[in-house]
């Protein structure tokens, strides 16, 4: 620790603490004075540095998470909080996957995706128009991964796009119907799947509970046996002590009785002797 | 729309209980943290926190807005903490004499500390907690209000009812003790 002299003219402690917290309530001039002083005072520099370390350590002290009795009551009133899981997280994973597959299927259908694997290799086409007969328009995936949308033949003699448009409209309607049907089917179906999953979870939970219960019973039996053994040992030790104590008392009493008898005999002899005289 | 504290207070006074709930939600954690750091016991801090809001609710009609709602709430909580500490002191079997330095006692007691204490000392949080517990209540309160609640010296002075310079002195003295204690314990754990 630096024991160098500090010649600050004002109240050093107050100025130092004001500087440390950057709080110069009521004395901005004092701060300027202290800052000037600080440039040349090694002792104050050391102290500021050390107190900054203390502040860093203090910052790591956080109270334990409270299980608030007050807010638990309020939670219902307050409604959803920031950071709470979104509604969709509550949907089971299988339903999310099904929805994703449905979405992909519908998207593929809407995009009129055509995946073909033939002697030319794997080819992927997209677009609403009929596949052109020329194989050149569909690019094999080995050359280009995904072929661009088929180019509509322009300027046909009988405006073929009208027919295509009608076909597209029909197809779109059919797919929308199919999508609605699939959604309705999924909505109606989750019960058995969920029931199976629930039963499985329930079975596992029961197995765990049974196992835990057995373990606790074993531990309890072990503890009871230990306690019984300890009690027996203690009882035996106590009995031995009592025996010893009683023996000692008895021997003491016996000695006293003998002494008393001797005294009484002596007194008896003395009495008789005195009567004879 | 986010209401200010003062608006929520006004609405609460006029009978809107949801507004008071909002105030509780907003200030529950800071008040609990203040109580915990002041008295150092989780259960008691929770009790103090609940009692603070209960008293605030009862006294709300008398709140005229002379101070900020948060300052008013802090004052209630600090008074409750002080009452709690007084009760605890009275409940203590042995009172340290006036001339005995508790820090010296704590230092002397170190070699006999348990294994659990030794393990706990490795956690800086515990270190800080224990060092803070050694501080006199006034110094601890000043540090907690400044360090963890970001109050200005002036606000602390008004809250605890003492001159500005006293607040600064308490802070400085408290930090010096903490510095010494933390350095000592950190060395001991290495």
pLDDT in tens, B54-75: 999 989 888 877 788 999 999 9
- The pLDDT value given to residue B94: 40
- The pLDDT value given to residue B107: 47
For B161: left if phi > 0, alpha if psi spans -120 to 50, otherwise beta; the answer is: left
Q: How far is A12 from chain B (nearest CA, A)?
A: 10
| A122: enclosing H helix or E strand | strand A121-125
Q: Give the count of Cβ contacts less than 8 A between chain A and B.
A: 98
CB contact under 8 A, B25 and A62: no
Q: Is B21 on the interface with A (CB under 8 A)?
A: yes
CATH code for the part of the protein at B1-95: 1.10.1740.10
- The pLDDT value given to residue B34: 92
Q: Give the CA-trace dihedral at B51, B52, B58, B64, to 10 degrees.
A: 170
- The pLDDT value given to residue A171: 82
Q: Per CATH, which fold does B97-190 belong to?
A: Arc Repressor Mutant, subunit A (1.10.10)
Q: What is the pLDDT of residues A93-133, one digit of tens each?
A: 556 666 666 776 666 666 666 666 666 665 656 555 454 44
- Cβ atoms of A79 and B49 closer than 8 Å: no
For the segment B87-92, the average pLDDT, to the nearest whole number, is 62
- The pLDDT value given to residue B97: 44
- The pLDDT value given to residue A105: 65
- The pLDDT value given to residue A145: 42
CA distances from B146 to A58, A190, B38, B142, B155 (A): 11, 56, 13, 6, 9
- Cβ atoms of B27 and B73 closer than 8 Å: yes
Q: Is A127 on the interface with B (CB under 8 A)?
A: no
Q: Which residue of B has its CA nearest to A61?
A: B125
- Cβ atoms of B84 and B39 closer than 8 Å: yes
Q: Is B166 on the interface with A (CB under 8 A)?
A: no
- The pLDDT value given to residue A108: 60
Query: Could you tell me what percent of chain A has a pLDDT over 90?
Result: 5
Q: What is the pLDDT of residues B111-127, one digit of tens each?
A: 444 445 445 545 677 78
| Banded pLDDT at B189 (limits 50, 70, 90) | low
Q: Where are the domains of chain A?
A: 12-58, 92-190, 204-277
Q: Where are the domains of chain B?
A: 1-95, 97-190
For the segment A22-26, the average pLDDT, to the nearest whole number, is 74
- The pLDDT value given to residue B3: 86
The pair of three-digit structure tokens given for residue B68, joined into one six-digit string: 């900020």
- The pLDDT value given to residue A163: 76
- Chain A contact set for B38 (CB, 8 A): none
């Amino acid at each position: 620790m630096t024991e160098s002299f500090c010649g600050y003219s004002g109240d050093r402690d107050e100025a130092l603490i004001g500087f440390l917290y950057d709080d110069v309530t009521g004395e901005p001039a004092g701060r300027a004075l202290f800052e000037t002083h600080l440039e040349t005072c090694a002792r104050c520099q050391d102290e500021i540095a050390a107190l900054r370390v203390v502040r860093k350590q203090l910052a790591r002290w956080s109270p334990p998470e409270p299980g608030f009795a007050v807010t638990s009551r309020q939670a219902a009133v307050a409604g959803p909080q920031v950071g709470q899981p979104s509604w969709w997280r509550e949907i089971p994973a299988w339903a999310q996957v099904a929805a994703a597959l449905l979405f992909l299927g519908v998207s593929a259908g809407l995009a009129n995706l055509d995946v073909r694997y033939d002697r030319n290799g794997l080819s992927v086409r997209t677009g609403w128009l009929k596949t052109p007969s020329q194989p050149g328009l569909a690019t094999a995936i080995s050359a280009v991964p995904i072929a661009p949308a088929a180019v509509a033949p322009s300027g046909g003699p009988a405006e073929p796009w009208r027919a295509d448009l009608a076909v597209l409209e029909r197809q779109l309607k059919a797919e929308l119907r199919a999508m609605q049907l699939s959604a309705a089917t999924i909505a109606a179906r989750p019960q058995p799947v969920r029931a199976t999953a629930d039963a499985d979870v329930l079975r596992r939970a029961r197995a765990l509970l049974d196992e835990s219960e057995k373990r606790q019973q074993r531990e309890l039996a072990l503890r009871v046996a230990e306690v019984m053994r300890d009690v027996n040992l203690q009882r035996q030790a106590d009995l031995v002590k009592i025996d010893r104590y009683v023996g000692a008392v008895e021997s003491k009493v016996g000695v006293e009785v003998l002494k008393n008898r001797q005294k009484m005999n002596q007194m008896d002899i003395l009495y008789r002797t005195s009567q004879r005289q | 729309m986010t209401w200010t504290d003062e608006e929520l207070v006004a609405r609460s006074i006029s009978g809107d209980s949801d507004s008071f709930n909002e105030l509780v939600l907003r200030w529950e954690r800071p008040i609990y943290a203040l109580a915990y750091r002041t008295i150092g016991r989780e259960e008691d801090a929770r009790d103090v926190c609940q009692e603070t809001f209960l008293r605030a609710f009862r006294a709300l009609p008398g709140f005229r807005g002379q101070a900020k709602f948060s300052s008013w709430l802090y004052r209630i909580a600090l008074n409750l903490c002080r009452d709690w500490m007084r009760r605890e002191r009275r409940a203590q079997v042995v009172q340290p004499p006036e001339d005995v330095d508790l820090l010296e006692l704590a230092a002397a007691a170190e070699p006999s500390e348990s294994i659990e204490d030794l393990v706990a000392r490795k956690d800086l949080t515990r270190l800080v907690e224990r060092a803070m517990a050694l501080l006199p209540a006034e110094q601890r309160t000043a540090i907690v209000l400044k360090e963890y609640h970001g109050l200005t010296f002036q606000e602390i002075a008004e809250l605890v009812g003492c001159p500005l310079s006293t607040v600064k002195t308490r802070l400085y003295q408290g930090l010096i003790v903490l510095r010494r204690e933390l350095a000592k314990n950190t060395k001991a754990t290495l």
